[in-house]
Amino acid sequence: MNKFNVSLDKILTEQLFASLVVVLGSILLYSAINFIFKKSEKRLDSKLFSGKRSKTYLKLTKSIIRNLFIIITILIILDIYGVDVNSALTGVGIAGVILGFALQDWFKDIIRGGSIITDNYFSVGDVIKYHDSIGKVLVIGLKSTRIQDLDNDNIITIANRNIEEVEIISHVLLVNVPMSYELPLSKAEATIDHIMEAIKKLEHVEDCIYTGVYNLNDSSVSYRLKISVDPLNRLKTRKIILRTVLDVMEKNGIQVPYNQLDIHNK
């Protein structure tokens, strides 16, 4: 009995040692691969928008490799402890049919994650809108996409199955400048020229075009500007643009019109 206990302790010790070797080996191998991925990402960063899709593929591949490393390491450790891996995989296959109904959302996320890449919905580095949040895409994974809110730097995780609810933010920002009906068209458009000159000098503004009279409102005429803005700085730049519009109008002696109510006495 004593010899049996010694043999059992020896086997358990050997199994534990082998398991540690496998885990450490996996960690070292994955760290080496991860280092190569990071070097590749740094090279792509210098290419700006030209490397965005490549960067997305890189991050997705990294996510897949990480999951494969975890699964393979677990299977090897199970084999070390005498578990029949082939039978376990067969059992998992049978159980998978049963669990499939319970894991429908999980499968939808993975399928949608592939669609985001192959159909080029968006890439890492793009700016997207999800519900009320606008953020930069940080990671596109198998199950979810992470973005950083541009307004408060919060990290938001979006399930990939909700891709239809995502909007891609373009470079175009439309701004309507309201002016009074009493203001002659020539003076209004001369002021618009001054506003455009001031806006073009702003940081993160790529271009500014006057597209003409946009709308005839109840108490004002709207003149539309089409401005190209870096999406990453869209929210901050929009606030500065509106302030610039007010500043130029004030310098030209033009007030922003407001709704007025006329009362007629009989």
What pLDDT score was predicted for residue 190?
94
The one-letter amino acid code at 28 reads L
Please determine, for residue 51, whether its predicted confidence score (pLDDT) is greater than 70.
no
Residue that terminates a domain, selected from 73, 102, 131 = 102
Q: Does any domain span residue 188? A: yes
Residue that terminates a domain, selected from 150, 168, 186 = 168
151 contacts: CB under 8 Å, gap ≥ 6: 133, 134, 235
State how many domains the chain has.
3
What pLDDT score was predicted for residue 189?
93
- 8 and 95, same domain (yes or no): yes
What pLDDT score was predicted for residue 200?
95
- 29 and 96, same domain (yes or no): yes
Q: Does any domain span residue 177? A: yes
Please determine, for residue 186, whether its predicted confidence score (pLDDT) is greater than 60.
yes
Compute the average pLDDT of residues 150-178: 89
Please determine, for residue 265, whether its predicted confidence score (pLDDT) is greater than 50.
no
Domain that holds residue 37: 2-102
Q: Does any domain span residue 226? A: yes
pTM: 0.55
Rg (CA), the chain: 30
- 21 and 37, same domain (yes or no): yes
- 134 and 214, same domain (yes or no): no
Cα dihedral 241, 243, 127, 229 in deg (nearest 10): 10
Q: Does any domain span residue 259? A: no
Compute the average pLDDT of residues 244-257: 92
The band of 263, judged by pLDDT with boundaries at 50, 70 and 90, is very low
What pLDDT score was predicted for residue 50?
47
Q: Does any domain span residue 262? A: no
Please determine, for residue 92, whether its predicted confidence score (pLDDT) is greater than 60.
no
Q: Does any domain span residue 52? A: yes
What pLDDT score was predicted for residue 259?
65
Q: Does any domain span residue 264? A: no
Give the chain's mean pLDDT: 79
